[in-house]
A = this chain, B = another copy of it.
Amino acid sequence: MRTVSTLDELRDSRLSLDGTVGLVPTMGFLHDGHLSLIRRARDECKRVVVSIFVNPTQFGPKEDLAKYPRDLERDFRLIEPFTDLVWTPAPESMYPTGYQTWVEVEAVTRPLEGAMRPGHFKGVTTVVAKLFNAVQPHKAYFGQKDAQQAAVIRRMVRDLNFPIEIVVCPTQREADGLAMSSRNVYLDTEQRKAATVLFHSLSAARELYESGERDAATVREKMKDVLASEPLAEPQYVSCADYDTLEELNEIKGKALLSMAVFIGKTRLIDNFVLG
């Protein structure tokens, strides 16, 4: 596994990677969710590139950029068996003085995370476009855990003609159902238990759907009811939306996305299930 930080080093190393190249963009502090993406890339591509970059432009001014967990040495150890090239760009090289170019996706970034985190997806799409142009992968791997991010990236790739296949991989979960996230380390013991309520809420809604319910409002109410049963949980949004456009549904038909953002203490967690 080769480790590079500057764009020139990356480009030199990329030239020596023959065959299909898979990119797994990450912000580091890797868990089994990331590793499932990297293993999938390993299965499908001759070469695997992992980027590790805590992208400042996708954090709001009141968000957790400064305290976002980092452990580069541990990350390297974890990915070493599966990875050909790891790129850890410095923030000042990604956004040097005079930087002024942004990629923005419109409608699909507006609801859900986009509504709660203004500017978040502008930072995501811009950095992903930069990573794509720098690494020139054939395939890129994202987690279903960040469902809206995956929908936004799919839209960007189609709209801007990126010659890249986007592979979205299933959410990895702890034994009790909690979706894996680098932010789970913020939770204390009591909060950690309470955090399973997202999974239980989504599971209850999916059961309702599987029993034949197609009214989206009823399904949303079920999710809210279960969340309300957990005193430590403060829901921010609960959604039952079209899988591609993320517009809220009246009636569930075709592929749909159940999703939610919930505060457990000061920690903001998201999770989702796909229906259909």
Contact = CB atoms under 8 A, between A and B. Distances in A.
A101 B107 CA distance: 9
A175 to B, nearest CB: 39
A129 B163 contact: no
A7 B161 CA distance: 8
A176 interface: no
Nearest to A130: B161
Nearest to A159: B101
Given A134-B161, A163-B11, A103 B106 contact: no
A146 to B, nearest CB: 18
B105 A155 contact: no
Interface residues on A, range: 20 to 34
A100 interface: yes
Nearest to A129: B160
Contact of A133 (B11, B108, B134, B160): B160
Most-contacted residue by chain B among A129, A136, A245 (CB, 10 A):
A129
Contact of A108 (B100, B106, B129, B155): B100
Nearest to A162: B133
Contacts of A107: 98, 100
Contacts of A105: 100-101
Contacts of A136: 163
A236 B162 CA distance: 38
A125 to B, nearest CB: 8
A79 interface: no
Contacts of A98: 107, 245
A60 to B, nearest CB: 19
Interface string A105-134: 111100000000000000001100111011
A70 to B, nearest CB: 23
A156 interface: yes
26 contacts: A7-B161, A98-B107, A98-B245, A100-B155, A100-B159, A101-B104, A101-B105, A101-B106, A101-B125, A101-B155, A101-B156, A102-B103, A102-B104, A102-B106, A103-B103, A103-B104, A103-B160, A104-B104, A126-B160, A129-B160, A130-B159, A131-B161, A133-B160, A134-B161, A134-B163, A136-B163
